[in-house]
Amino acid sequence: MSGDNVPVRAVLDAEFVDESPRRSRLPLWVTSKPHRVAVLREVAARVLRAPWRFLGAVVRGLVAAFRWWRRWVSVRDYREAAEGAEKLADKFEAIRALTLFRWKVTGALVGLVAAVVLVLRVVYGDGPLWVLGVVAAVGLAVWGRRKEGSPGRKAALGGPRALTWTMDPQVLVEAFRDAKLIGKDEELRMVERATRAGQGWAVTVDLPATRKAADVIRGRDALASALAVDEVQLSVERVRGNGGHAGRVALWVADSDPYASPAVRTPLVDAESWDAWRAVPFGRDARDRRVDLPLVWTSLLVGAIPRQGKTFAARLAAAGLVLDPHTRLYVADFKAGKDWDAVGLVAHRFMSGDEAEHVITLVGWLVELVTEVQGRYRRMRKLDDSVCPESKVTPAMSRDGGLGMPITAVFVDEVQVPLEDRTPITVQDKKLTAGEYVGELLTWLAKKGPAAGIVLVLATQRPDSKTIPSGLRAVLGSRFALRVMDWRDSNIVLGEQMNTRGYDSSRLLASHKGVGILRPDGETQAGAEVLALTVRTYYMPNEDWRIICQRGRALREQAGTLTGHAVGDAPAPLLDHAEAVKAIGTRQSDWSAAGLPEPLSAVVGYLGGDMETREFVPTAELVEALEVDPVTFAREMSAMDCRPTRGHAPMPDGEVRRVRGYLTADLRAAVDRARDFGSVINVGSDRA
């Protein structure tokens, strides 16, 4: 303070905590109004229930006393010991004598008590009898109190457990035990006390050693049942990063169904513009936290059954890109409705239809984009490191009109239509179907396109392995699964075995429109380490969608970036199949079902590209998918030297069990044998 230099012995790193000592010592119900109200309600309820609970305890005490006396007077312990030693016959006389003696003791005690009561009644009146009665009742109530671990005598909780555990952490421990998430002798460690967070209660706990947060996430339904709440009200997340570890869990329990209220309107309708490099506002989670979806340098797959909000979700992703005047849009609507019509005001390419000619048009677009990506990579190699430090498009590069590398987004709604199209086409003297060619072009763009500024967004109402090739699904970074029919469809959208990790969109309620499980490829508000989270998308009706598209057109007119279909200039792209073939190595699918006998043809048609990626297919899955008789199916497959074996497969409940099925290696061998046999037949026919 005087200005003199004072030597310092050590410099310590620390964190300033703004919390007064007095506040930290006070009970939470003193400083928190919600806790105080909850405590008062619980106290009032216990006071009203106290007389009935006391009477019940006295009755249980009488029953317990009678059972104890009956066991004592019948010498049950002595008799059981003699039976265990196989000496009951030798001890019979001693047991009988002891039983008679204890009956005499009982009679003497009853007589003595009756005499004492009579004397007290005559000498002192009714007062001492009331005192003795109260003492006896209290003793019986204490004896008959519910004890932990005794069958039928476990502590009963008044009211919902979701409220009780906020005041008594032991209730939360019991819920974990009831859900089989921890053992009977294991405890939880409270990292953060239960506090009010939004429209619910939040608490963070550490699990016992060797227990994993992933198991709690997978057992969320059982924990919700133990807490007496619906599973949609319970949010379970693993705490990751510097403040977390594999055994730290953050719980949040909503007061009511968080998705029962009306959906929130998208904030983009009030935004003057948007930057494509920023994550797009996508929706809100159960805790009403905003969830933004990053799009640049990744791709998105949206899957759902009809009328669950699939197109709305895809349009939300498009809305942020529409409001960026430096973004180029390709939109193909194979639903052939009017949901996407407004985007024609800003789109570089746009079409709506589900005919074969529209699929051929999409092929032209994709070939054009493959050529464009190849050209961008060649141009990036020639740029200075100060402009392009890596082989990736930067924000400055995407806005530089001279470089010609704007962020380009490709939206394909009902992508199953072009992928299943069987229109024959010829590419470089090779014949294949349009659907196969579209699948290979989309796969290549999903692999190579993101670094060059290509964003791929695919939406489908048929998320099955037959529709979407496994090679394409494997390279789509972000996934959003709304309600689907079963856990297999959910895994196809979200990824293999996601249901075993606690993420299954087939369990979503039909009434929860727009609610789905998001698996982002990038950081969201929930954190970069979050594997997946349940999100309710923002609400954006057609009126708001048109307003956003009109605003996007005005921004492009002002920036001079309006091109293609939006200005009425949409010529057919010049198809450079040679460049596309060179890039993607187009070839006819090795796993075509054509020319194969049944039921092998149906099996290959169902599995498709999964013939290469999967190792084992359960028989039950094939029988259900192909709708065949299991006995007939097994007999016909055995006739082709393809016999079932036992292997491990994930079940709908999340467990991996050993079931009967077929190895895909055996299926591939059967396909080769069938084709070789067909070739021999054809050669013989030609010679004849």
DSSP designation for 149: T
Angle CA 630–632–636, to nearest 5? 115
pLDDT at 263: 84
pLDDT at 141: 79
Compute the mean pLDDT over every residue in the chain, rounded to the nearest whole number.
80
Distance, in Å, from the CA atom of 379 to the CA atom of 391, rounded to the nearest integer, reads 10
pLDDT at 238: 83
pLDDT in tens, 532-551: 888 999 999 999 999 999 99
606 CB neighbour count, 10 Å cutoff: 19
Write the secondary structure of 212-280 as one string of H (helix), E (strand) and C (coil).
Answer: CHHHHHHCHHHHHHHHCCCHHHEEEEECCHHHCCCCEEEEEEECCCCCCCCCCECHHHHCCCCCCCCCE
DSSP designation for 299: E
DSSP string, 155-170: PP-SS-HHHHTTT-HH
Lowest mean pLDDT among 103-112, 383-392, 612-621, 637-646: 612-621
Is the pLDDT score of 414 beyond 70? yes
pLDDT in tens, 504-528: 888 888 888 889 999 888 665 555 5
What is the pairing mode between strands 299-303 and 454-460?
parallel
DSSP designation for 309: S
Is the pLDDT score of 86 beyond 80? no
Is the pLDDT score of 667 beyond 60? yes
Is the pLDDT score of 345 beyond 90? yes
Is the pLDDT score of 205 beyond 80? yes
Band of residue 350 on the pLDDT scale cut at 50, 70, 90:
very high
pLDDT at 678: 47
Average pLDDT over residues 586-612: 66
The residue whose two tokens read 């819920």 is 175
pLDDT in tens, 149-178: 343 334 333 444 556 666 677 888 888 888
Lowest mean pLDDT among 58-67, 261-270, 293-302, 575-584: 575-584
pLDDT at 457: 94
pLDDT at 587: 44
The residue whose two tokens read 């079931």 is 659
With contact defined as beta carbons under 8 Å apart, do 284 and 291 qualify?
Answer: yes
Is the pLDDT score of 17 beyond 50? no
Q: Answer with the residue of higher pLDDT: 565 or 197.
A: 565
What residues contact residue 484 under an 8 Å CB cut-off, 6+ apart?
Answer: 303, 304, 305, 463, 490, 493, 505, 506
Tell me the CATH number of domain 161-254, given options 3.90.220, 1.10.8, 3.30.160, 3.30.980.
Answer: 3.30.980
pLDDT in tens, 273-317: 999 999 999 999 888 888 999 999 889 999 988 888 889 999 999
Is the pLDDT score of 488 beyond 70? yes
Band of residue 22 on the pLDDT scale cut at 50, 70, 90:
very low
pLDDT in tens, 223-252: 888 888 888 888 888 887 777 888 888 888
pLDDT at 52: 82
Q: In 3-state terms, what secondary structure has residue 494?
A: helix
pLDDT at 455: 94
pLDDT at 473: 82
Q: Answer with the residue of higher pLDDT: 393 or 607.
A: 393
Q: Answer with the residue of higher pLDDT: 564 or 46.
A: 564
Band of residue 465 on the pLDDT scale cut at 50, 70, 90:
low
Is the pLDDT score of 688 beyond 80? no
Is the pLDDT score of 454 beyond 90? yes
Is the pLDDT score of 477 beyond 90? no
Q: Answer with the residue of higher pLDDT: 253 or 497.
A: 253
> What are the backbone angles phi and psi of residue 79, rounded to the nearest 5°?
-65, -45
pLDDT at 48: 84
* Tokens describing residue 149: 């671990």
pLDDT at 24: 46
Q: Encode burial over 7-34: b for 16+ CB neighbours within 10 A, e otherwise.
A: eeeeeeeeeeeeeeeeeeeeebbeebee
pLDDT at 90: 64
Distance, in Å, from the CA atom of 634 to the CA atom of 628, rounded to the nearest integer, reads 10
Band of residue 677 on the pLDDT scale cut at 50, 70, 90:
low
Q: What pTM did the predictor assign?
A: 0.63
pLDDT at 572: 60
With contact defined as beta carbons under 8 Å apart, do 335 and 413 qualify?
Answer: yes
Lowest mean pLDDT among 177-186, 313-322, 571-580: 571-580
* Tokens describing residue 285: 């989670």
The residue whose two tokens read 């699964």 is 481
Q: Answer with the residue of higher pLDDT: 158 or 486.
A: 486
Q: Report the length, in residues, of the chain.
A: 688
Band of residue 397 on the pLDDT scale cut at 50, 70, 90:
very high
DSSP designation for 524: B
Band of residue 18 on the pLDDT scale cut at 50, 70, 90:
very low
Band of residue 322 on the pLDDT scale cut at 50, 70, 90:
very high
Distance, in Å, from the CA atom of 61 to the CA atom of 322, rounded to the nearest integer, reads 74
pLDDT at 5: 54
CATH top class, domain 267-584: alpha beta
pLDDT at 436: 86
424 CB neighbour count, 10 Å cutoff: 8
Maximum Cα interatomic distance, the chain, rounded to a whole number of Å: 128
What residues contact residue 292 under an 8 Å CB cut-off, 6+ apart?
Answer: 278, 279, 280, 281, 282, 524, 525
Lowest mean pLDDT among 278-292, 391-405, 630-644: 630-644
Task: Please give the single-letter amino acid code of residue 434.
Answer: A
> What percent of the chain stands above pLDDT 70?
80
Q: Answer with the residue of higher pLDDT: 466 or 191.
A: 191
Domain residue ranges of the chain, discontinuous segments joined by +: 26-143, 161-254, 267-584, 600-687
pLDDT at 683: 35
Selection from 495, 626, 506, 505 nearest residue 617 by Cα: 626
> What percent of the chain stands above pLDDT 90?
20
Distance, in Å, from the CA atom of 430 to the CA atom of 412, rounded to the nearest integer, reads 26
Q: Answer with the residue of higher pLDDT: 82 or 95.
A: 95
pLDDT at 156: 39
